[in-house]
Structure 1
Amino acid sequence: MLSPDSTSPAAALPFTMGPALLFCPADRPERFGKAADRADAVILDLEDAVAPGDKSAARQAIFEQVRDGGLEPGRTIVRVNPVGTPEFAQDIELLAKTPYRTVMLAKAEGAEQLRALAEYQVIALCETAAGVVNAPAIAAEPNVVGLMWGAEDLLASLGGLSSRNDDGGYRAVALHSRSAVLLAAKAAGKEAIDSVYVNIPDLEGLAEESRDAVASGFGAKACIHPKQVAVVREAYAPAPEAVAHATELLAAASAAGTGVFQFKGQMIDGPILKHAQSVLLRAGQLAL
């Protein structure tokens, strides 16, 4: 679950989300409400999902949607174009006229870029070589609430051809970047979001990757199609037996009152207890 950093200028704005985020092209306003209803948070995309000639119409669609009632600000993210582009300036001009204060910055590459969004909570999308290398400095910025990595844009920035091998698994450089962004986010106390799974019909592959994401520590995964949402949610939802085990384990830890103790033949220490707390947090039975 992603939440504002207490030192962020936008920290007073409530924003939380569950594990499944759904991208929605900003030039398709007829999909806004459906996307918001189906996912834990919707990402209105002004960048890659919108053709260059349609970006003005996309901004107008968001403005008109807000005028007609809008989406819930606490579950709405707007992906803006990269800092330094004419489109970015127009995106920010639009956002000032809306209640949306959580943005995803496309192709974030340096900490200084985040200062152009000081009034917003930012999910920095590290999807270039520079963005991945500079992820620790980006994550440290006070208005950054999370990092996401992007596989295909990353490989394009490297001059590569594909982020995945023929068997569907990530290439070594993509795995390194995924881990680097996760580590940078968590080291700064921020959330980490796993990249999209572009093979839409392959729900089994999505499920496997989502299970790995939650086991690795990613707090959410982005989706590009509504039918992916349920798969991600299922991967993040702990099994009933896992919840029961975690509950029993934490109760035993409280009763033991010591740093290390035995539980069902296993030696238990701090990291194991944190794993149990993570299970209950995902099950909604433990507060942050």
Structure 2
Amino acid sequence: MRKWLLSLLALVAISGASLTSVNHGTSAFAASKSKLTGKVLAVGSTALQPLAEQIGERFSSAHPAVQVTVQGGGSGAGLTQVQAGSVQVGNSDVFAEEKDGIDASVLVDHKVAVVGIAPVVNSDVSVRSLTKSQLKDIFTGKVTNWNQVGGKDEKIVLINRAAGSGTRAVFEKAVLGDATAATAQEQDSNGTVQKIISTTPGSISYLAFGYIKGQTGLRALKLKKIAPTAKNVRTNKWPIWGYEHMYTRGKAKGATKAFISYFHKKSVKGIIRQLGYIPLSEMKVTKDADGVVTTK
């Protein structure tokens, strides 16, 4: 009886060992089933950066042999570097045709999402809504005190983005038109602007939607009492928005092509919305490089 029991235990042990070995083998296969390899360096728009980083992490999990690196620097830097061939992807908030010094004919545009942009103020500012004309007057320097637009007697502290910023280009095209922006403090990224506005009384600037949600110390302004929401962007009821572009020099190939394609998977639409962007498929309108909006 004892001998039979020992034999049974030995058989169970062997079976268990075999099962463990199969499970490890299956896990190893699951982790290495993607044969995609390579490196993808995406540089440019800080408005697109949070989304590109999140999608990059998911993509890398699915393709462990691909190294994805996302950096900011502004749309101008992204377009310049991808044109020079020093990066695989140039992230931009604007069409390449809109940037001086960029030969759009050698670049291929891959739109991956839509970004809404809104004027933001420090939370001490009492004004809640402005007309487009009032907003223009503030950013061109005609209005310098909040009491001129219905607020309290407080000097307006103007914060702008640097000249190469795509976020700035989208904002100025929609709000200033051909008018010249007033001289103001300039910052290189959405993140820096976010910090300055939240800690500087009387200040105003503009941010991509993803940098506004859940932030303390600042709030977005309405335009003619219309709120800056994804719903309003979809129909162009909120007019300050643009595409998030990922440019490549020539056609995208290999790991770069797969990374860009990943943005269009149904499984990542939730991340796009969660981070404050709008999936391309949800837009009811389109916009061209000249800013002309057409209903789909």
Larger helix percent: 1
Larger Rg: 2
Larger strand percent: 2
- Bigger RCO of structures 1 and 2 (CA < 8 A, at least 6 apart): 2
Normalised by the shorter chain, which TM-score bucket? under 0.3
Q: TM-score, normalised by structure 1?
A: 0.28
Q: TM-score, normalised by structure 2?
A: 0.27
